A and B are shown apart, each in its own frame.
Chain A
Amino acid sequence: MTGYPPPPDVIEGRVAWIFGDDFDIDLIIGVENIKYYDADKLRSVCMRAYDPGFADAVRPGDVLVGGRNFGYGHPHYPPMVAMRNLGIAAVIAESFSPGFWRGETYNGMPLITVPGVSTAVRRWDAISLDWRAARLRVPGRGTELTGTPPSDRAVQVIQAGGSLNLLLSEHRRAPSETAR
Chain B
Amino acid sequence: MGRTITEKILARAAGRAEVTPGQNLPFAPDHMIAYDFPGYTDVMFRQMHDDFGIRELSDPERYVVFIDHMLTKGDTKERDIHQVTRDWCDFYGVTLHEARGIGHQVAAEYGYALPGRFLIHFDGHISGLGAFGALGWGVRRDLLEGWVTGRIHLDVPASVRFELTGAFPDGVDNRDLIHAIIARLGADGCSHQVMEFTGPGAASMSIGRRQGLCGMAMFTGAVSAIFNPDEAALAYARDHARTEFAPLSSDPDAEYSSTHAFDLSELAPQVVLPGSARADNTTDAASVGDTAITKAFIGSCASGRIEDIRAAADVLRGRKVASGVRLNVVPTSKEIHRQAEEEGLLDTLRDAGADIATSSCDFCFGYQKPLGAGENCISTGVLNISGRMGSTDANIYMGSAYTVAASAITGHITDPREVRR
Q: Interface residues, chain A, CB within 8 Å of chain B?
A: 22, 24, 26, 31-32, 34, 68-69, 72-74, 95, 97-99, 101-103, 106, 151-154, 163-164, 167-168, 170-180
Contact = CB atoms under 8 A, between A and B. Distances in A.
B278 interface: yes
Interface stretch (B3-11, B310-318, B379-387): B379-387
B145 A167 contact: yes
Contacts of A176: 55
Interface residues of B, number: 43
Nearest to A100: B140
Nearest to A97: B221
B56 A178 contact: yes
A152 B188 contact: no
18 contacts: A22-B276, A26-B385, A32-B387, A69-B186, A98-B191, A98-B218, A102-B140, A106-B142, A151-B153, A152-B24, A163-B144, A173-B53, A175-B55, A177-B53, A179-B52, A179-B147, A179-B149, A180-B150
Most B-side CB within 10 Å, residue of A24, A74, A168, A176: A74
Given A31-B392, A175-B53, 20 more contacts: A22-B188, A22-B278, A34-B387, A68-B188, A72-B187, A72-B221, A74-B388, A95-B188, A97-B188, A98-B223, A99-B138, A151-B155, A170-B149, A172-B51, A172-B53, A177-B54, A178-B55, A179-B57, A179-B150, A180-B59
Interface of B: 24, 47-48, 51-59, 124, 138-142, 144-145, 147-150, 153, 155, 186-188, 191-192, 218, 221-223, 276, 278, 383, 385-388, 392
Contacts of A153: 24, 153
B144 A69 contact: no
A73 B383 CA distance: 8
Nearest to A75: B140
Given A73-B385, A163-B144, A22 B187 contact: yes
A167 B148 contact: yes
B139 A102 contact: yes
Given A32-B387, A69-B188, A69-B221, A179 B142 contact: no
Describe B's contact surface by its main secondary structure.
loop
A168 to B, nearest CB: 6
Given A73-B276, A151-B24, A179-B58, A173 B52 contact: yes
Contacts of A180: 57-59, 149-150
A22 B187 CA distance: 7
B109 to A, nearest CB: 26
B262 to A, nearest CB: 21
A167 B53 CA distance: 12
Contacts of B388: 74
Contacts of B153: 151, 153
Contact of A168 (B51, B57, B138, B140): B51
Nearest to B140: A103
B148 A103 contact: no
A35 to B, nearest CB: 9
B187 A31 contact: no
Nearest to B193: A98
Contacts of B155: 151
A159 to B, nearest CB: 14
Contacts of B186: 69
